[in-house]
Chains A and B, each alone.
Chain A
């Protein structure tokens, strides 16, 4: 990393207004170290039923995240982007990729612009994770909805957006229609089914795997088949393409409204080391930038996930899921304060097998302070009240209040 920093820095020194730097290749390197205090149940990352990334036995000084975001201009309208990270948790690969894609954005014609993304990237759900490396500029952790998105979803495929540039034509804003097709998301729903919702800042890398499986041992694999050790998230089990379709309306950067329907079209009859999960959801979101640097964000999601085909037509395991959050953030110069309230839950009305559902609420209060253009201090307190019925199997209390306080020191280098 230091070698990389030394390589990036001279490029910055050459930047001035008279001889603008060539930004054909741009990098953002971010190092985030934490001092964490947590009273949480054993974390789901350790095989426990806790909702937090850091539990009582795994707090102290930790790596929050180190990431490198790269953007390269291949042609005038074609950009390559990639993010590599390390979290210092029990990840399969110490350094791994979260996103890598090509972004083709030709000039608009007749009031419309087509944008095509190809590769591995996030489906357009989060209105919160808008900074480099899909991080949130408002707090350290993401809301329950966007945490789940970062953990279990990636579009490994193509997305096309057609935008009617209304603001160029004296209309009140721009309207976009978004469609995506993808593979390699046949495991989506796995972590939700065992752990339920969580609030953290982890993004599962493309080749990542969780070594511990909380509340497991419920499914019987088909005769002759074997489970892979641990969770692997992004792989292909069936031959069906998943899809999503969405619509977005945007007025300058002041108002963004978005709706999306997602369906991974999992084939419940398939099994290849893991079961094939069928996961669908609808998502709505709004972000409004108010005068005096106030930001309001709200998102809502409702869906279901199921697994385990039984010829009678009823799946072994079926889970309804829903969540929403409201976020209020205020920036004052180099200071930012954010308050977020999350509600989440899963419910089982069908299914013949294992019973496990959760519900809960959470408050997040964050304060971020930019010391200069490179250094940032962030203090965040997170309280989660949750109920997870499967905790009984681990000898843990079904209901728990967990709190986690994190102080982050972040250093960001840009070329």
Chain B
């Protein structure tokens, strides 16, 4: 409890609790105005702040494998989180990533064979299975404790957010809009509620469908 970091963190918490706490609402819609769900929303303070509100509660997450798919398809976590990769399929998987944010390999396994993997660098990590090339999953590693995914109405709400300037980023592998248009600088604390709407200019990439066959085939 006595480390300089903890003291700094407590200090900032006090400062923040004195500042106006706002809620940030984000809405993502496609060019036709329809809501887009499963979009990652991350709100990152632009200044170097000690933002880790509750380091213990956020340290573990899970990327499951079911029916030859990663579940969830997109997982968003804070940097410093350990992720478990249980394989609940009847077949073995061989999970890997060659993304710069976290290259790793989990040798062929089923169940909970491997210890969790630490994701300590911000960025998007693309997951694959070396046996089943159709399996594709994403882990968005955020440099902030404020993140989530839009719901079926295309909405996400931050809850209380300390006053300050933030980079607001929305991301999903299916978005085709240029990356810079998916970032926005926002100031929190001026108004009681901030609502940011992202209206996409481009249609989404078509969804990767998995064949629903009960007996997946071994491809030659």
Q: Which of A37-45, A86-94, A124-132, A238-246 lies at the interface with chain B?
A: A124-132
Interface 1/0 per residue, B195-210 and A, CB below 8 Å: 0000000000000111
Check B213 for interface membership: any CB of A closer than 8 A.
Answer: yes
Number of A residues with CB within 8 Å of any CB on chain B: 45
> Do the beta carbons of B209 and A167 come within 8 Å of each other?
no
Please indicate the chain B residues that have their CB under 8 angstroms from the CB of A124 in the complex.
220
Please indicate the chain A residues that have their CB under 8 angstroms from the CB of B130 in the complex.
77, 105, 107-108, 113
Interface 1/0 per residue, A20-36 and B, CB below 8 Å: 11010000000000000
> Do the beta carbons of A253 and B210 come within 8 Å of each other?
yes
Check B126 for interface membership: any CB of A closer than 8 A.
Answer: yes
Q: Which of B49-57, B106-114, B157-165 lies at the interface with chain A?
A: B106-114
Check A14 for interface membership: any CB of B closer than 8 A.
Answer: no
The binding surface of chain A is classed by DSSP as: loop
> Do the beta carbons of A130 and B134 come within 8 Å of each other?
no
Q: Which of B85-93, B139-147, B148-156 lies at the interface with chain A?
A: B85-93
Number of B residues with CB within 8 Å of any CB on chain A: 33
By beta carbon, the residue of chain B nearest A172 is B205
For the complex formed, measure the closest distance between the CB of A136 and the CB atoms of chain B, giving whole angstroms: 10
> Do the beta carbons of B128 and A17 come within 8 Å of each other?
no
A291 CA / B212 CA spacing, docked (Å): 10
Please indicate the chain B residues that have their CB under 8 angstroms from the CB of A163 in the complex.
133
For the complex formed, measure the closest distance between the CB of B125 and the CB atoms of chain A, giving whole angstroms: 10
By beta carbon, the residue of chain B nearest A16 is B90
Per the 8 Å Cβ criterion, residues 126-184 of A in contact with B are: 126, 129-132, 134, 137, 163, 165, 167-170, 174
Known: A77-B94, A165-B128, A168-B128. 14 other contacts (CB 8 A): A18-B111, A76-B107, A110-B98, A122-B220, A130-B219, A132-B217, A132-B218, A134-B220, A168-B126, A168-B136, A169-B126, A252-B208, A254-B209, A370-B215
Interface residues of B, Cβ cutoff 8 Å to A: 87-88, 90-92, 94, 96, 98, 105, 107-108, 110-111, 126, 128, 130-131, 133-134, 136, 173, 208-215, 217-220
What are 9 A-B pairs at a CB distance below 8 A? Answer: A23-B110, A76-B107, A126-B220, A130-B218, A252-B136, A252-B210, A253-B134, A293-B213, A334-B214
